[in-house]
Structure 1
Amino acid sequence: MNNHSGHHSVGMFAAVLIGLSAVCPFNSIHAAPSAAQSNNLGSNIFYQASSGVSPVESTSPAQEQKQTETGPSNSSLHPGGTSAGSPVQEQGVPSGLKQAADGMIQSLSSQPPFAEWKDAELSYHPLGPGTHSWLVQVNRAGQSIGYLVIGTDTNGVYQLNEYGSGSGGPYSMDVLRQSLQSLSETELSSTDKLQITPMYEEPLLAYWLVRSSTGSQICIDAMTGDPLPLEVADGSWKHKLHHNTPPLTIDFLGTQAQSVAFTAAPFDPYDDLGWLQPKQKLSIHSADQFIDTLRTSPRIIFSATGINFVFGGPLSINGYQSWISPDDSSHPILYALSQHDGLSRFVPLKQLLSSGEFYGLDF
């Protein structure tokens, strides 16, 4: 099985969303604690959600169809255990992905903001189909304490698309459920049966693709639960991206996370809209310029006019984290830090440099 196509072999899950009958192919594969020290798959497959939505066992396509029509079974799964009679399944996670995730988490857990990640439980969720990305949830005591989104480059080398520490990470079933409940009858009928697919597209677009049995579809932001523009579903937003030559990617194997540099307290870009003035625009086109600017203007904002939804932006930036590759120690890989509502989200600076503008609040 190819590393970048492993998500095609994983079964589907049916999940109950209050007031709606939904098929949610957001499957997960649970790994034991100390994932950085072992490549053994866990003995059970489940979706570990903080929402209280009870997951059900992995099913065959025939069983899925039956559950779609009649509702899922009453079995429940608990972190670290299996439901009575549930089949043991050990499939779906490419070994290369596990090796990459283990190395990234082991490196991050050596830094104070990620100390809780040491020996945490990991669950793997394929994002797709066809996007070659995985969500790796970092869990402790049944609660998510962080996440990684890992993808592949054109050569199949695993890359860290983004990561975050704290609550409020992407693809919360609770956020999805609330979002679906808030949609009006004109958008989705309560009698519709829904197919819900977690999606991730570069640069940083995390969303749920919701298709109804009547043929309509809606895209929901996987972070906020807000409905996304129609151009997400048809992909027309992509022509708005700057078509710069993609930067060279680096194999993350052996790459080490450095200390997080905090330059200011968390802030909301909507609290002070002064940054929208033309004079606040910054000249940042490289990693060195980004670091130098934060020394004099510790609060900066990234904005991509017309496609901020692709980045979850505008993004308030109040720090960064560097990763050092043993193959090129003179050129650190930088991730910009954006903090909001208890989540510290780290996004690759290279994606921001080629796709939008930076603005300052402190000069």
Structure 2
Amino acid sequence: MKKNHSGHYSVGMIAAVLIGLSAVCPFASIHAAPSAVQESNLSSAPNYNESSWVPPMESMSPATPSASPGDVSSKLPAQQQGVPEDVKRTAADTVQSLSSQPPFASWKDAELSYHPLGPGTHSWLVQVNHAGEYIGYLIIGSDPDGAYQLNEYGNGPGGPYSMDILRQSLKLLTETEFSSIDKLQITPMYEEPLLAYWLVRSSTGSQICIDAVTGDPLPVEVADGGWKHKLQNNAISSPTPFSKTQAQTVTISSDPFNPYDDLGWLQAKQKLSIYDTGQFMDALSNSPRMIFSATSINFAFGGPLSISGFQAWISPDHPSEPILYALTYHDGLSRFVPLKQLLPHGQFYRLES
């Protein structure tokens, strides 16, 4: 991929790119995504169902029906077979527990759809739908012992892996030129700590990673894994099995806020000493607005993250050892991320009220 002097990927000049999904990707086929300059009079190619490589618009017949960007649905078809029973059980138990809490009351009678993430399907996106509307998500992954755990979850619109976000991003972030034989392969990926993205490969060797929440291009080091050496090795493991826990009341310390609106937290004096669950809860009670930052690898967390609350999960066998998920917001989405993934990899800062 070619970048301009600002470091961003240059806007595609081709008429359109028809996106196809790799065999490991369960998501729906996507209509052609017209470029901004020719959106009003483009023809599109027919849908492709889970084809591994899909050619750009130039190779298609101009006689095919027209399609606008709005034709691309953000709803994803469910995986019909091959979903591990442990994944289904973890999802069902999690949704049942969450639905007992007021913010998740609409999850009580929700329908769940399952979508594998990345090769090997070690992680699964579980979309939560009610009355035909998307209302939230879970991401379930396996730990080193093979047991499934809750990687993160969210309540509200704007969850990860939206087809609309993907289409819009590719319209803006594709190569400046594709040959008539060039094709794209697109795979949804999820890597710890909290990195949700689309891996886009070209048949001519180019590749780019796109953040599955924001649609922003990710650093080149995501595709080659070069960023992982920056992670700390002192990851925190929870002594309490998640499968035995129950969701508690969500603790909200402040209204949603954007960490970029006030950069006062970047001052050294704002740094907090938080190394465990107890210190996190104490700090949040004294500093209702906090920011988590992992500096050079913030992209792996979707950060920097505004922290304005948490939800605890407690096992009746270990009531004094809660598992905490920090509450952050993104465009109306309440996103809950495991505190154990934040503590070893970054710093917390207070933001003055």
Instruction: Normalising by structure 1, report the TM-score.
Output: 0.78
Residues 121-160 of structure 1 correspond to what in structure 2 (within 5 A)?
A: 121-130=111-120, 132-160=122-150
Check 1:299–1:79 CA distance in 2 against 1; reply closer, same or farther (3 A cut): closer
> Is 1:68–1:193's contact at 8 Å kept on the other side of the alignment?
yes
Task: Give the one of 318, 322, 340 matched to 1:328.
Answer: 318
Check 1:338–1:156 CA distance in 2 against 1; reply closer, same or farther (3 A cut): same
The offset of 1:154, in angstroms, is 1.2
Paired residue secondary structure (2:196): strand
* Counterparts of 1:210 and 1:89, CA distance in 2: 21
The offset of 1:55, in angstroms, is 11
| Structure 2 unmatched ranges of 5 or more | 1-14, 34-44, 66-70
The offset of 1:47, in angstroms, is 4.5
* Counterparts of 2:151 and 2:145, CA distance in 1: 15
* Counterparts of 2:131 and 2:48, CA distance in 1: 21
Per the alignment, residue 304 of structure 2 pairs with: 314
Task: Give the one of 189, 199, 203 matched to 2:178.
Answer: 189
The offset of 1:139, in angstroms, is 1.2
Check 1:162–1:245 CA distance in 2 against 1; reply closer, same or farther (3 A cut): closer
Is 2:160 aligned against 1:170?
yes
Per the alignment, residue 221 of structure 2 pairs with: 231
The offset of 1:294, in angstroms, is 0.8
Task: Give the one of 335, 339, 349 matched to 1:349.
Answer: 339
Check 1:276–1:131 CA distance in 2 against 1; reply closer, same or farther (3 A cut): farther
Paired residue secondary structure (1:176): helix
> Is 2:124–2:139's contact at 8 Å kept on the other side of the alignment?
yes
* Counterparts of 1:178 and 1:271, CA distance in 2: 25
> Is 1:172–1:222's contact at 8 Å kept on the other side of the alignment?
yes
The offset of 1:251, in angstroms, is 3.1
Per the alignment, residue 102 of structure 1 pairs with: 92
> Is 2:311–2:325's contact at 8 Å kept on the other side of the alignment?
yes
The offset of 1:167, in angstroms, is 0.6
Is 2:14 aligned against 1:24?
no
Paired residue secondary structure (2:242): coil
> Is 1:20–1:190's contact at 8 Å kept on the other side of the alignment?
no
The farther-off stretch of 129-138 and 241-250 is 241-250
> Is 2:157–2:332's contact at 8 Å kept on the other side of the alignment?
yes
CA-to-aligned-CA distance 1:323-342 (integer Å, 9 cap, x gap):
01234221000000001210
* Counterparts of 1:327 and 1:166, CA distance in 2: 31
Per the alignment, residue 36 of structure 2 pairs with: none
> Is 1:131–1:201's contact at 8 Å kept on the other side of the alignment?
no
* Counterparts of 1:139 and 1:48, CA distance in 2: 20
> Is 2:116–2:124's contact at 8 Å kept on the other side of the alignment?
yes
The offset of 1:118, in angstroms, is 1.2
One-letter amino acid matched to 1:189: F
Q: What is the alpha-carbon root mean square deviation over aligned residues?
A: 3.2
CA-to-aligned-CA distance 1:146-191 (integer Å, 9 cap, x gap):
00000011111111000000011100000000000002533x6375
The offset of 1:143, in angstroms, is 2.5
Per the alignment, residue 120 of structure 1 pairs with: 110
| Structure 1 unmatched ranges of 5 or more | 1-17, 29-45, 83-87
For this pair of structures, how many residues does the alignment match?
Answer: 314
Check 1:226–1:57 CA distance in 2 against 1; reply closer, same or farther (3 A cut): closer
Check 1:201–1:148 CA distance in 2 against 1; reply closer, same or farther (3 A cut): same
> Is 2:17–2:55's contact at 8 Å kept on the other side of the alignment?
no
* Counterparts of 1:246 and 1:300, CA distance in 2: 21
One-letter amino acid matched to 1:349: L
Paired residue secondary structure (1:253): helix
> Is 1:153–1:249's contact at 8 Å kept on the other side of the alignment?
no
> Is 1:79–1:142's contact at 8 Å kept on the other side of the alignment?
no
> Is 2:25–2:118's contact at 8 Å kept on the other side of the alignment?
no
Paired residue secondary structure (1:324): strand
Task: Give the one of 241, 266, 273 matched to 2:263.
Answer: 273
Check 1:138–1:246 CA distance in 2 against 1; reply closer, same or farther (3 A cut): same
The offset of 1:305, in angstroms, is 1.0
Is 2:246 aligned against 1:256?
yes
Paired residue secondary structure (2:18): strand
> Is 2:79–2:114's contact at 8 Å kept on the other side of the alignment?
no
* Counterparts of 1:19 and 1:115, CA distance in 2: 42
* Counterparts of 1:66 and 1:284, CA distance in 2: 47
The offset of 1:307, in angstroms, is 0.3
Check 1:157–1:121 CA distance in 2 against 1; reply closer, same or farther (3 A cut): same
